[in-house]
Amino acid sequence: MEAIKQEFSVAYQYSVFFTEHLFDTNNKLLFNVLTDLTSTSSSKTFFVIDEGVVQHHPELPQKIRQYFNQHPSLPALCADPLLIPGGEQCKNDETFCQRILEAVNRYGIDRHSFVIAIGGGALLDLAGYAAAIAHRGVRHIRIPTTVLSQNDSGVGVKNGINAFGKKNFLGTFVPPVAVLNDFDFLRTLHIRDWRSGIAEAIKVALIKDEPFFRSIEANAVALATRDMESMKELIHHCARLHMDHISGGGDPFEKGSSRPLDFGHWSAHKLEQMSDYRLRHGEAVVIGMAVDVTYSTLKGLLPQEDGARILSLFQRLGFRFYDPLLMQHLDSENRSRSVLAGLREFREHLGGQLTITLLNGIGKGIEVHEMDEELLLKAIKFLGSASVQEQANVTC
């Protein structure tokens, strides 16, 4: 009996908007976006907000209410916002996912309604995941409040939560219907979060955009001292590069093995977990990139002066490119608990052949399919001593 072949394509589109003071009643952005996306009069709106954001912006829930009161044609708020603690903890504890799903059930939030999440990358990952699996997908709008989520994770197509001690073990590829970047949220960020997001911009510059790397170098002091205009430019450029990679890379839902946007991430994910999430994602990514940059130079792929230039940029931005966790459990007996286990977990998570992006120039990623453990150890030791030296310099 003849086989039946199925073939179809699914088209996705969404925009990332940039604004300030999104919920000021005279700011029309949210009104326009929601009006454009609303297909039926029975649609509702439900907000999930990062508790950390509300701590710094206690007026936020009230402003949202006022905004919707002022614009009665918008899909009505079906309940008070659900507040959830931000940061990795909300992805580690499955009860938070459950709480969002319960709200979807209790308030009759349907596939044409909107779950709008306001917060950092972790909260957005969680809310996006819950929205994606409820009713096989409720419409989801992201309002990222950190540099990292505004220029990287929040503008992409993934969501997820952690399980079995593994980052993003559960998740889906489901794009949001819109992303609204409100720069005003960045003003109240802790300096570690302000800085952390710059890591992903350096990442995308290193693998594909040398002029962007130079502009980050040129603006390093401004960025480190919280100059908003420099940060806006960095976020806009980085978000565009990230999105162009997704749409232009030919594999938006990552069916293959190539994953250049995960440069530096195999060890970063492991370090975050080993540190019990003491390390912010961006901080771990800097360390992870430092490892792979140094490995690239030791491997003869990247000129030494480029490696030094990259580490120097990390320092000028206030990053540490080394953490003692890198040295933990490296004896051969315990190596499966060391950062090196990140290679195996990374391969398992992505599937297929191990594919690691290294550099053979600034702005030039190159993929390799195996990593030399001894050379990796050498890279780690190099970073350890470079870091001691740097700290000594600071002390002097």
The answer to whether the CB of 115 falls within 8 A of the CB of 138 is yes
Residue 168 within binding range of a copy of itself, rule CB under 8 A: yes
**Part of the chain binding a copy of itself (CB under 8 A), chosen from 63-71, 119-127, 168-176, 318-326:** 168-176
b/e code 280-315 from CB counts within 10 Å (16+ = b): bbbbbbbbbbbbbbbbbbbbebbeeebbeebbebbb
> Does 351 contact a copy of itself by CB under 8 A?
yes
308 binds a copy of itself (CB under 8 A): no
Give the Cα separation of 193 and 282 in Å (integer). Answer: 8
Contacting a copy of itself (CB under 8 A), which of 71, 236, 309, 335? 236
d(CA 331, CA 320): 24
Q: Which is nearer to a copy of itself, 16 or 84 (CB)?
A: 16
Neighbours of 142 (CB within 10 A): 33
User: Would you call 157 helix, strand, or coil by DSSP?
Assistant: coil
Vertex 170 angle, CA 169 and 176, to 5°: 125
Out of 99, 140, 142, 158, which residue is the one contacting a copy of itself (CB under 8 A)?
158
Residues 6+ apart with CB under 8 A from 44: 75, 76, 77, 78, 107, 108, 109, 110, 113, 114
Amino acid at 158: K
- Report the residue number, 40 or 393, with the smaller CB distance to a copy of itself: 40
Residue 36 structure tokens: 């454009």
Q: Of the listed pieces 35-43, 264-272, 320-328, 372-380, which binds a copy of itself according to CB under 8 A? A: 35-43
Query: Using CB under 8 A, which of 24, 51, 93, 110 touches a copy of itself?
Result: 110
Among the listed residues 102, 217, 367, 373, the single contact to a copy of itself using CB under 8 A: 102
Q: How far is the CB of 167 from a copy of itself (least distance, A)?
A: 11
Number of residues counted as binding a copy of itself (CB under 8 A) = 72
Instruction: Identify which of residues 151 and 294 has a Cβ nearer to a copy of itself in the complex.
Output: 151
Give yes or no for residue 138 binding a copy of itself (CB under 8 A). Answer: yes
For residue 95, state whether it binds a copy of itself (rule: CB under 8 A): no
Among 45, 92, 113, 150, binds a copy of itself (CB under 8 A): 113
Q: Which residues make Cβ contacts (< 8 Å) with residue 136, sequence separation at least 6?
A: 111
Cβ contact 268:359 at 8 Å: no
Of residues 350, 356, 376, 383, which one binds a copy of itself by CB under 8 A? Answer: 350
Nearest in space to 343 (alpha carbons), one of 360, 333, 326, 356: 356
Q: Does 10 bind a copy of itself (CB under 8 A)?
A: yes
CA separation for the pair 164, 167 (Å, rounded): 8
9 binds a copy of itself (CB under 8 A): yes
112 binds a copy of itself (CB under 8 A): yes
Does 31 contact a copy of itself by CB under 8 A? no
Residue 99 near residue 129, CB atoms below 8 Å? no
Question: Rule CB under 8 A: is residue 35 a binding residue for a copy of itself?
Answer: no
The single-letter code of the amino acid at 133 is I
Query: What's the min distance (Å) between Cβ of 300 and a copy of itself?
Result: 27
* Residue among 179 and 301 whose Cβ is closer to a copy of itself: 179
Residue window 247-266: x/- pattern of binding to a copy of itself, with contact defined by CB under 8 A: x----xxxxxx---------
Nearer to a copy of itself, 230 or 297 (CB): 230
